[in-house]
Amino acid sequence: MAGSIPASATASVTAAAVPRVGPWQEAWRRFRKHRLAVVSLVILSLLVLAVLVGPFAWRLPIDEIDFTARLEGPSWAHPMGTDDLGQDILARVLYGGRISLAVGFAAMMVAIFVGVLVGAVAGMAGGRIDAGLMWLTDLFLSLPQLPLLLLIIYLFRDALTQVVGPELGVFILIVIIIGGFNWMQVARLVRAQFFSLREKEFVEAARALGASRMRLVLRHILPNAMGPVIVAATIDIAAAIIAESTLSFLGLGFPPDVPTWGRLLFDAKDNLDFAPHWAIFPGAMIFLTVLSINFIGDGLRDAFDPRRVVAS
């Protein structure tokens, strides 16, 4: 769909033989061929379902302190064991998953939105605007993310906390910052797509028919440029989850009583050799989520890349 291949003779022959499928159906067909990606999709769906529905089914509170059940290994009462205050780790992992995943998806949205906007403007406008925007992109690419994140949290946490409360305030901050630092790849991708697409015959045709610039972008170019963007988006989710975990692990980010996955690892690290279950479960969650998202991204790339031959 990248549109970089001219319609070939073989393509028109197969088009006649195979029943007509839309681009999304075609992508799904190709995606299914990537077995790991399909397995990953199932795992990720289960994870998402678990953190969304789980807390309703598993009703132990996340902060119930029980000194009689400290550092217990997995049991029926506590399937993932307990931490050193006797708090149920399963409940905390489920709750933390909501935050970690929400941060991942929200930050991805921010990144994609900014990236597509910058890329599209640069790609359509060209000239000085393009050069300026690309300079900006390079500038952002060269900023060290983590130190800046620390600085911004330090500068703005109090102000934002007073307006929207500690959890939401930090959530907004983290999402905006992580999103605000992951859009550059997307912008470059989109710009490159726009450069090639806007010279394509179907765009010329639309332009000849008198389509406005806006309509050209929204109806003709953008949909055709979405494939690589979706792939980039999946990678962004993984990066955002890791970034949030890093922050929580450093003891920054969310308040200490909010059990994000990174915070759980941070709390568990001192007890690693006595109570490995405390670290293993949240660690496995981060691992599984990021791994499956990466595989899904891999599968999507196959699915959206028409040059790639998928055995059918």
Binding region for another protein (CB under 8 A) = 63-65, 67, 70-71, 84-85, 87, 154, 158, 166, 251-252, 255-257, 267, 269-271, 273-274
- For another protein, the closer of residues 232 and 275 by Cβ is 275
Distance CA 308, CA 296 (A): 16
CB of 255 to another protein, least distance (A): 5
Rounded CA gap, 217 and 211, in Å? 10
Least distance (Å) between residue 60 CB and another protein:
14
**Residue carrying the six token digits 């000085």:** 128
Output the smallest distance, CB 268 to another protein, in A.
10
Nearer Cβ to another protein, position 149 or 233? Answer: 149
Q: How far is the CB of 165 from another protein (least distance, A)?
A: 9
Q: Which two tokens stand for residue 26?
A: 């075609």
Q: Which is nearer to another protein, 206 or 250 (CB)?
A: 250
- Closest to another protein by CB, 223 vs 256, is 256
- Residue nearer to another protein on the CB measure, 169 or 180: 169
Length of the chain measured in residues: 312
Q: Which region holds residue 18: left if phi is over 0, alpha if psi is between -120 and 50, else beta?
A: beta
- One-letter-per-residue 3-state SS of 142-210: CCCHHHHHHHHHHHHHHHHHHHHCHHHHHHHHHHHHHHHCCHHHHHHHHHHHHHHHCCCHHHHHHHHCC
> How many angstroms from the chain centroid is the CA of residue 102?
9
C-beta of residue 278 within 8 angstroms of C-beta of residue 187: no
Please say which residue, 169 or 297, places its beta carbon nearer to another protein. 169
* 83 vs 302 by CB, closer to another protein: 83
CB of 167 to another protein, least distance (A): 9
Q: Quickly tell me which residue has 């929207």 as its tokens.
A: 164
Instruction: Tell me the three state secondary structure of residue 88.
Output: strand
Give the nearest distance from C-beta 85 to another protein in angstroms: 6
Burial of 79 (0-12, 13-18, 19+ CB in 10 A): middle
Bridge partners (DSSP) of residue 88 are 82
Residue type, 84: D
Residue 293 contacts residue 234 (beta carbons within 8 Å):
yes
CB of 153 to another protein, least distance (A): 11
Q: Cβ closer to another protein: 135 or 154? A: 154
Half-sphere exposure of 217 (CA within 13 A, CB side): 13
- Kindly state the smallest distance separating residue 87's Cβ from another protein, in Å: 8
